[in-house]
Amino acid sequence: PFDANLAEATLRRKTAGKKLAMPEKAPRVAETILLVEDEAAVRRLAKRILTQMGYRVLEASDGAIALRIAAGHVGEIDLVLTDVAMPNLGGRGMVEELRELSPGIRVLFMSGYPREEIFPEKGVAGNTPYLQKPFTSETLSAEVRSALGYAR
């Protein structure tokens, strides 16, 4: 049988006076993205790309469903990737409610409409992370990394 005390004593004896090499940063578990898109084909494509990139993806087909999912994953969601125009509850309204639950949550909006039409308020369009549809896997990857705070 395995004796944990003996194993620990042996390890201590072998490493006495030696500094154990520890990685500077422990590897992070895959980041979680809440993908909110009412068009099933776009949602499937985005999920496939994000999953291949190593992200954990939670899916919702509208803002109301997204809020229910987010409530069950408080503190776990690293990014919300959301369409703007959706039935029931659109992306902007959903994000406003979501920020009451998780104030610092990162968001990347996406739409087939030009950014300036989606965010007509002065100064808002340029400061809001935005992905124009249709998108390529490269564009999606770059915008998601940027929204998460990584260099492109």
Euclidean distance between CA atoms 11 and 73, whole angstroms: 39
Considering the domain 28-147, what is its CATH architecture? Answer: 3-Layer(aba) Sandwich (3.40)
Q: 29 pLDDT band (50/70/90 cuts)? A: low
* Nearest residue to 32 (alpha-carbon basis) of 144, 150, 152, 125: 144
Q: What letter represents residue 38's amino acid?
A: D
Euclidean distance between CA atoms 134 and 49, whole angstroms: 14
Q: What is the pLDDT of residues 73-84, one digit of tens each?
A: 999 999 999 999
Euclidean distance between CA atoms 96 and 84, whole angstroms: 12
Q: Is the peptide bond before 120 cis (omega within 30 degrees of 0)?
A: no
Predicted structure pTM score: 0.77
Please check whether residue 119 is in contact with residue 146, taking contact to mean a CB–CB distance below 8 angstroms. no
Taking 80 as the threshold, does the pLDDT of residue 14 lie above it? no
Q: What is the pLDDT of residues 44-88, one digit of tens each?
A: 999 999 999 999 999 999 999 999 999 999 999 999 999 999 988
Euclidean distance between CA atoms 80 and 74, whole angstroms: 12
